[in-house]
Amino acid sequence: MNTEQLTTTNGQLSALEKKRQSWGAIGIKIHEQQLQLQIRAQDALSKLEELPTTIDEIPQAEAILKEVGALKRQIEADRKAITSKFDPVFERLMAPEKSFAVPMAAYVAAIIAIKKEEEKKAEDRRKKADELARIRQALITTQSHYDAEFKTIITERVGTAFTWALEKGIMPGAECDDYKDRVKFKIKESLFHTEEPTLTKGLATEEEFKAIYNEVWKINAADYVALFAGELDRKFAGYEVAYQNKQQALAMAKEEQERRLREIEEQKQHTEIAATLDANATDLTVIEGGMLKALKKAYEVDMPENFENAMKIFSAFMANKQKCLEKVNIKKWFNFDASSAAKALAKVKSDDNQFAPLGIIWKEVDKL
């Protein structure tokens, strides 16, 4: 150990020795003063050993009680004169723990700010996913309407052509084939005209809209022209037999057309219901914010302190007494006030964010 280190060590030991001697002297003084306070207290309390037994002794007893009360207050004052000297020591001892307050508050505020930003991003993702789901639903529903409308037109026109042929006596064979060709010729793509749905886009981009549109939108006028031709051929496939039994064939054709129209309507409803259910199904992978612990949704009553609001708070407490009592930790109920009731209501609200008693105004508080 070199000279400088030795000098430093000796200096530290000297300072510690001075502290020890100083605190030792203080300890002896406190011990002596403690003994004095105990003796004074015992002397004062000895005056209360003999209790009054008659009404005549009351004046003297009251005087003794007054005297003992004064002695007690003087002992307390003398004790405070001693202990108050240690307040700076206590302050120095508490300084390290108090030093945590500002840095920790700033640290918590930073975490909360980042989490709130992440929550906003997650909420935007949720809103966008919901918007895209609604766009998909609207496209499917609109397409379903067009599909049902066009298939209804096809069913009705095929039925009308078949009925007209039987009623007018169109002969099976070449005459019937020529008739079918003329009917098919009249069915143009313009009969199955559609308009592209106009949908309001907020968060969704034009590219995302087009991707869903190209995936969902399958309406093609040429397909329905071809469907009409196929349905007409199918209907006339047994025309020769129908021609021999016209009345029966006409009755059966009417029944078949009614059944087919019901099927078209049912299919439309099923498609729309499925689209609605799919749109309402939440995709958690889109809105989850990862493994972060979510901010707590804590609440406080936020109302001016006046008589009317105090009564509203008490009324809300009593209206939800069972829930609120579970949140109260109080021993002296005469100390229970509007502030106590407000805190209990806030705890219930923080546990159940849907809790909304009449007349109570809340302030949301961010907590980790």
Percentage of the chain lying above the pLDDT 70 cut: 92
User: Across-strand partners of 298?
Assistant: 365
* Chain position carrying tokens 């008490």: 314
Q: Has residue 5 got a pLDDT over 70?
A: no
Distances (CA, A) of 242 to 167, 181, 228, 293: 11, 19, 20, 74
Distances (CA, A) of 199 to 30, 125, 145, 149, 202: 85, 19, 16, 21, 10
Q: Where are the alpha helices (DSSP H) in 281-335?
A: 284-287, 307-319, 321-325
Phi, psi of 99 (to 5 degrees): -65, -15
Query: pLDDT tens-digit profile of 287-332?
Result: 454 556 667 778 999 999 999 999 999 999 999 999 999 999 888 9
CA 274, chain centre distance (Å): 27
Q: Residue 286: which pLDDT band, with cuts at 50, 70 and 90?
A: very low
Output the pLDDT for position 2: 54
Output the pLDDT for position 109: 84
Q: What is the mean pLDDT of residues 42-47?
A: 92
Could you write out the DSSP letters of every residue in 241-273?
HHHHTHHHHHHHHHHHHHHHHHHHHHHHHHHHH
Burial (CB < 10 A; 0-12, 13-18, 19+), residue 11, is exposed
Integer Cα distance of 265 and 258 in angstroms? 11
Q: Which helix (H) or strand (E) holds 296?
A: strand 296-301
Distances (CA, A) of 258 to 27, 151, 270, 278: 108, 13, 18, 30
Beta carbons of 48 and 68 less than 8 angstroms apart: yes
Beta carbons of 187 and 230 less than 8 angstroms apart: no
Integer Cα distance of 222 and 187 in angstroms? 10
Q: What is the mean pLDDT of residues 258-263?
A: 95
Residues 106, 109, 113, 119: what is their CA dihedral angle, to the nearest 10 degrees?
A: 150
Beta carbons of 326 and 302 less than 8 angstroms apart: no
Beta carbons of 133 and 276 less than 8 angstroms apart: no
Query: pLDDT tens-digit profile of 194-241?
Result: 987 777 778 888 899 889 989 999 999 999 999 999 999 999 998 999
Pairing of strands 362-367, 296-301: antiparallel
Beta carbons of 66 and 48 less than 8 angstroms apart: no
Query: pTM of the predicted model, to two decimals?
Result: 0.57
* Chain position carrying tokens 């209790």: 51
